[in-house]
A and B are shown apart, each in its own frame.
Chain A
Amino acid sequence: GQQLNQSPQSMFIQEGEDVSMNCTSSSIFNTWLWYKQDPGEGPVLLIALYKAGELTSNGRLTAQFGITRKDSFLNISASIPSDVGIYFCAGQQGNTPLVFGKGTRLSVIA
């Protein structure tokens, strides 16, 4: 089945630093989504991308849909303590269900 490789698995950064994480796939996707999950909660949608090459921002977050349609990245600028959590990428192709990466666990050191 389809698989998403998300990296890095975990990150420890200082408050104020920028963060970058990415997802790659062996398959082409029509849609890329980025979610954040806090402990004990469900994932919350951060950004949705629908076109190859699309670059979308949501506050300090910026995500891009790769030109090959097989990858996407998420950047967080000037990280703050509340950015702590697990970030998931998800891809969708046609009418198939969303496929999720295994997540990037972000820890922010104040």
Chain B
Amino acid sequence: KAGVTQTPRYLIKTRGQQVTLSCSPISGHRSVSWYQQTPGQGLQFLFEYFSETQRNKGNFPGRFSGRQFSNSRSEMNVSTLELGDSALYLCASSLDRTVDEKLFFGSGTQLSVL
């Protein structure tokens, strides 16, 4: 069974640009969560989607948005990039997080904002 797939693995952008990251969950998993990981702050929750609906949202500005498609694939978008957005963005999937909390992570997208 294929794991969680995130694309691209690396991205370099400049301030003010926008970026879209993609995540394909494990087959059969319907819940997708996104986390931002930085050395100083650890893993910070961004949002969670289930059945194309945002079920939870973390404490991030509106520049961070996401969506989920009918096949459970998810994308997150960051607009008007800032230097502080440089981080590893991790996607995690689970069957249904409210029933089984085990999250399975992808390898992440390393975003560098110059």
Interface residues of A (CB under 8 A from B): 1, 31, 33, 35, 40-45, 48, 88, 90, 92, 95-103
Contacts and interface: CB of A to CB of B under 8 A. Distances in A.
A42 B102 contact: no
Nearest to B98: A95
A1 B4 contact: no
Contact of B102 (A33, A95, A99, A101): A33
Given A45-B102, A97-B56, A103-B42, 11 more contacts: A1-B59, A35-B105, A41-B107, A41-B108, A42-B4, A42-B106, A42-B108, A43-B105, A95-B56, A97-B48, A102-B41
A43 to B, nearest CB: 5
Interface of B: 4, 6, 33, 35, 41-43, 45, 48, 56, 58-59, 90, 92, 97-98, 101-108
A48 B102 CA distance: 7
Contact of A100 (B42, B97, B104): B42
A54 B101 CA distance: 16
Contacts of B6: 42
Contacts of A96: 56
